[in-house]
Amino acid sequence: MASAADIAKSLAGAIGANDEEVTVSQFLPSGFPPLDHASNSSWDLGAFPVGRMIEIAGPPSSGKTALATAGMAGAQKMGGIAGFMDHERSFSLRLAPRLGLDTTPGRFIFKTPKTFEESLQICVVAANHVRKNKLIAKDAPICWVFDSLAAMVPQSAYYEMKAGKVVGVKSLEDRNMNDNTALARATSNAFPAFAQHCEDLGICAIFLNQMRTDLNVKFGDPRKTTGGNAPEFYFSQRLWLSASQIKKGTDIIGMEVTGKYKKNKIARPFQEASWRFEFQEDGTGKFNRFRSLIEFLEGLDLIKKGKQTGTVEWDGKTYPKATLSNTLEAEGDKGFAKLTALLPANYEPPVVAEIDAEIDEDAAIAA
């Protein structure tokens, strides 16, 4: 009988040696350490994995696009480029720079494709061209956002086809039940190959998605997303957002957003983070990472609560949380670094800590 080493040597001559394990070595920053930690158990690696397809889904006005824009801006800061497919026809090139995105052509690619297939093809062709011609560094990331999967129309549902050729645009009257399930078939057909392209070309593909309610679910979470079953398997991460209103008097000034990883093939699933998404006068939404991180640290008792509601202790003084947030934000990165310096080296998310405590309690009872 041959030894393992002899078998490996013989097989190497026939099919080559074993391939290396495929892992994620690069992440795009979200700008919010608790979300980064929920993604990959690290405060500073970033949140969005390069080389993978991910989903960000949530209700309207919950900051999905703002979160994806943070990823695009992060890719640019790392020497890469960003692309945005505006299927919902709602992206503002005028307002995006206020969220940190460089919309200069060449640094940013903006397209309004008509179909699902055209959208994926543009992404792959552009990324191939960039990599082949060495237009950016080899390890520089590409971030591509699709807004949204729910709004992507399959070619078979948009065009009238005869003998495999496009003969015109399909009228609304000609749509049928087959068109209603076309997107599910399109994702099932395209996503296996597209996932491979993302890995080969160093693309972080972020698919924004809309929520639907599954009326057949009587117990548990009735929410679901569009695109059929294929996305559940091919998205490496599925970040689902829920939101509640932030009010000042009777005015709704923002949303308190909680992001939970319903699926995570990078780290533990079901971890979550919460942050404030505040509406601005110019029509944009602000991901208030300063105020959000202050409240996160307050929850861990790393920033002490003040005696009055809504206040905290900082440098021996009592500040309203809004005032402290604005003061640190005025200091820019230096101010944010003062907050991140308080993050604990060892951190167990509450859900993990609770499970560990239950296991310890059960073990003690058994003993």
Highest-scoring range by mean pLDDT, 8-17, 195-204, 284-293: 195-204
Average pLDDT across the chain, whole number: 90
* CA atoms of 124 and 118, how far apart (whole Å): 10
pLDDT at 38 over 70: yes
Q: What is the dihedral of CA 66, 71, 77, 78, to 10 degrees?
A: 180
For 79-131, the pLDDT digits (tens) are 999 999 999 999 999 889 988 999 999 999 999 999 999 999 999 999 999 99
pTM to 2 decimals? 0.90
The pLDDT score that the predictor gives to residue 302 is 95
The pLDDT score that the predictor gives to residue 1 is 82
Residues 6+ apart with CB under 8 A from 328: 290, 294, 335, 336, 338, 339
For 268-278, the pLDDT digits (tens) are 999 999 999 99
Q: Give the domain ranges of the chain.
A: 24-288
Q: Which of 57, 26, 53 is nearest to 233 (CA)?
A: 53
Instruction: Summarize the confidence of residues 142-150 as an average pLDDT.
Output: 96
The pLDDT score that the predictor gives to residue 355 is 45
User: CB count, 10 Å around CB of 131?
Assistant: 17
Sign of the CA dihedral 59, 62, 68, 71? negative
pLDDT at 222 over 60: yes
Residues 6+ apart with CB under 8 A from 3: none
For 282-307, the pLDDT digits (tens) are 777 888 999 999 999 999 999 999 99
The pLDDT score that the predictor gives to residue 359 is 44
Q: Give the residue ranges of DSSP H helices in the chain.
A: 4-15, 33-40, 64-77, 116-132, 155-158, 177-180, 182-201, 230-234, 289-299, 321-330, 333-340, 350-366
DSSP string over 60-75: TTSSHHHHHHHHHHHH
The pLDDT score that the predictor gives to residue 227 is 94
Tokens 């079953």 appear where? Answer: 229
For 330-353, the pLDDT digits (tens) are 999 999 999 999 999 888 776 544
Q: Is there a contact between 148 and 62 (Cβ–Cβ < 8 Å)? A: no
For 237-283, the pLDDT digits (tens) are 999 999 999 998 899 999 999 999 999 999 999 999 999 999 888 77
The residue among 24 and 163 whose pLDDT is bigger is: 24
The pLDDT score that the predictor gives to residue 348 is 78
Give first-to-last CA distance, the chain, whole Å.
48
Structurally, what CATH architecture does the domain formed by 24-288 represent? 3-Layer(aba) Sandwich (3.40)
